[in-house]
Each structure stands twice: as C-alpha cells, then as structure tokens.
Amino acid sequence: MPMKQAMPAPTAQACPCGRSGASKKPLTFAACCGPYLGDFAARPAPDAESLMRSRYSAFVLGRSDYLLATWHTSHRPSELVLEPGVKWLGLAVRQHVLLDESHAEVEFVARQRERNGRAVRLHERSRFVREDGRWYYVDGDQF
C-alpha cells in the first residue's frame, strides 16, 4: 500500500539525495528515490546505499512514516517527530561497503540548516541489515 507524503515531491526535479546517473546529471526524484517512498511495500530499496539515500530524501520531504518503516525493529523508536523548519542542504555519500549478503555500512555527510539558522553537518557511518529481501537502517556511529 502506498504511503502518504507529508510534502509533495516534484517527480521531474532532481532527487533530494543528489544521486547522478551515468551521464553525470542528477537523477530525477521519479527515477531515484521516488519509487521507494511512493510504494514502500512493493518497491524496497535494492541496496543499503539506495535505502540510505531514500531515507535522506524522506527527511527532506518530512516523511517520518517512511523513516520508521525502514528502521529495523531492534532500534526503531515508537514515534519520530521531525523538527519543523529544518532545511536539508545536501548529501554526500563517502563509502558503501557490503560486509556480507545481509549486512552493509554506508558512510555519509548530510548538511542541514536549523530553524534558528545554525548550520549542522552530520557525518555518520550507518549500519544496515537485509531481512526477507528488504534492507533496514539499524543504527550508526557519528564522527
């Protein structure tokens, strides 16, 4: 069943996650994270990096439902309230390591500006697990 969007995502515009295609041009939301956020049940992210990128896009779009659904039950909070007024400024994936067929790590830097104007840089190595063919975010270490 498709999930409702908190904020409409312009499908023809560049994906918030910043992924580029083979031509080095940014992928559109419809060609990148859009299908995962639009139909979580039928379109799981194919790998940990794609899941991490789609989770970043979910933060940008205010999609706490998607964030909770893609969080592994061993670490998932009971609810997630996103801070209003945060502006996400960009994502840089530094490394994606497949540890084995069901475990992976993704190192990234995400930048945001808080409501009070303060700039924040989140540098994290996230851990992911694959269960029943679906990747989940487990937790991460911040640098």
Q: 14-44: per-residue pLDDT in tens? A: 999 999 988 989 999 999 999 999 998 899 9
12 pLDDT band, cuts 50/70/90, is confident
Residues in the chain: 143
Q: In what order do the strands lie in the sheet with 119-131?
A: 87-100, 103-113, 119-131, 134-142
Segment 115-125 shows an average pLDDT of 95
- The amino acid that residue 124 corresponds to is E
In DSSP terms, which residues pair with 128 in a beta bridge? 104, 137
Q: Which helix (H) or strand (E) holds 56?
A: helix 48-61
What is the average pLDDT value for the chain, to the nearest integer? 92
Beta strands per DSSP E along 21-118 = 87-100, 103-113
Please give the biggest Cα pair distance in the chain: 42
What is the model's pLDDT at position 5? 44
Structure tokens at 117: 């104007």
Residue-wise pLDDT tens digits, 74-106: 999 999 999 989 999 999 999 999 999 999 999
Would you call 11 helix, strand, or coil by DSSP? coil
CATH of region 34-142: 3.10.450.50
What is the model's pLDDT at position 8? 53
| pLDDT at residue 3 greater than cutoff 50 | no
Q: What percent of the chain has pLDDT over 90?
A: 86
Q: Where are the chain's structural domains? A: 34-142
What is the model's pLDDT at position 116? 93
